[in-house]
């Protein structure tokens, strides 16, 4: 079950965090994985790990904000069966203290970057009359998160794009879903806490972990397992859905 053999997968943000976990999980399930990421050192490390384990992986340095560059990368990959949009950034701030520059930066990466990838991949999937797209959303689609105005804006847009793509291309055999994690323990989270809460890292980590009713943050591999399922033939009847993976955050936080 859940085989991805003979599938070609493209994962943005594929060299770190959730994207890295997805890349490794897909390779284990037999897919040829294309990692799209800015960090060349991390790209080389993950590709080496996958190849040493007998998998197939190709690295592409890419800034998803640049549409011409995105177009070139997907032309080189050609037929993409699976697209997982993991690339994204966060920002702390409310509506009145989020700067225009920060708002634009979050929008460019989280919204326009995802649009760029969708724009280039969908025509290939249409030709093949098949394809699966998974977009990284957030519990911010469902609940109000304090001091996350721009981030919440961007993830709300991800949900909207997911539903639109699912509706528009269902007759072309393309499925599109999104997943909405609560907090996931990645290097991104560690760096984020260190940058924004210097001297209070341990305290903030424990506070953020305890905000999930299950009592901890998710592991990247747990999110990757859900995405493997949604991209597999076993999930062939699922499209236009958002999957919270949140340790009870949405429904059990009273």
Sequence spans of domains, the chain: 8-182+220-247, 185-217
Q: What is the dihedral of CA 131, 10, 186, 249, to 10 degrees?
A: -10
Q: Is the overall model pTM greater than 0.75, yes or no?
A: yes
Mean pLDDT of 228-237: 98
65-122 pLDDT, tens per residue?
999 999 999 999 989 999 999 999 999 999 999 999 999 999 999 999 999 999 999 9
Catalytic: which of 115, 124, 151, 229? 151
Length of the chain: 254
Query: Is 197 considered catalytic here?
Result: no
Q: Please state, for a pLDDT cut of 90, what percent of the chain lies above it.
A: 93
Pairing of strands 8-12, 32-37: parallel
For residues 87 and 36, give the distance between their C-alpha atoms in angstroms, rounded to a whole number. Answer: 9
% helix / strand / coil in the chain, to the nearest 5?
50, 15, 30
From residue 100, how far is each of 90, 109, 129, 238 by CA, in Å? 14, 14, 41, 38
Is pLDDT at 187 greater than 90 in this prediction? no
33-54 pLDDT, tens per residue?
999 999 999 999 999 999 999 9
Mean model confidence pLDDT for the chain:
96
Is pLDDT at 126 greater than 90 in this prediction? yes
Right CATH for 8-182+220-247 from 3.40.50.1010, 3.40.50.20, 3.40.50.720, 3.60.21.10: 3.40.50.720
In order, the DSSP letters of 153-219 are HHHHHHHHHHHHHHHHTGGGTEEEEEEEES-B-SHHHHHHHHHHSTT-HHHHHHHHHHTSTTSSPBP
Q: Report the 10 Å Cβ neighbour count for 100.
A: 7
Coil vs helix vs strand at 243: strand
Question: What confidence category does residue 254 fall into, taking pLDDT thresholds of 50, 70 and 90?
Answer: low
DSSP 109: I
């Amino acid at each position: 079950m859940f085989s991805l053999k003979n599938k070609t997968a493209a994962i943005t943000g594929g060299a770190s965090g959730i994207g890295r976990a997805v890349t490794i999980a897909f390779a284990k399930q037999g897919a040829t994985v294309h990692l799209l990421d800015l960090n060349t050192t991390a790209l080389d490390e993950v590709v080496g790990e996958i190849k040493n384990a007998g998998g197939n992986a190709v690295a592409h340095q890419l800034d998803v904000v640049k549409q011409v560059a995105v177009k070139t990368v997907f032309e080189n990959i050609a037929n993409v069966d699976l697209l997982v949009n993991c690339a994204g950034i966060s920002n702390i701030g409310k509506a009145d203290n989020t700067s225009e520059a920060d708002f634009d930066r979050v929008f460019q990466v989280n919204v326009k970057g995802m649009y760029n990838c969708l724009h280039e991949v969908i025509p290939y999937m249409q030709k093949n009359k098949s394809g699966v797209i998974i977009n990284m959303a957030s519990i911010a689609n469902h609940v109000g998160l304090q001091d996350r105005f721009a981030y919440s804006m961007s993830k709300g847009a991800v949900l909207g794009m997911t539903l639109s793509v699912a509706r528009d291309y269902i007759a072309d055999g393309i499925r599109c879903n999104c997943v909405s994690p609560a907090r996931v323990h990645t290097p991104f989270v560690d760096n984020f806490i260190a940058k924004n809460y210097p001297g209070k890292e341990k305290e903030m980590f424990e506070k953020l972990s305890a905000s999930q009713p299950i009592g901890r943050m998710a592991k990247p591999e747990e999110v990757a397992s859900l995405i493997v399922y949604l991209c597999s033939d076993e999930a062939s009847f699922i499209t236009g859905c958002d999957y919270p993976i949140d340790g009870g955050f949405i429904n059990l936080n009273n």
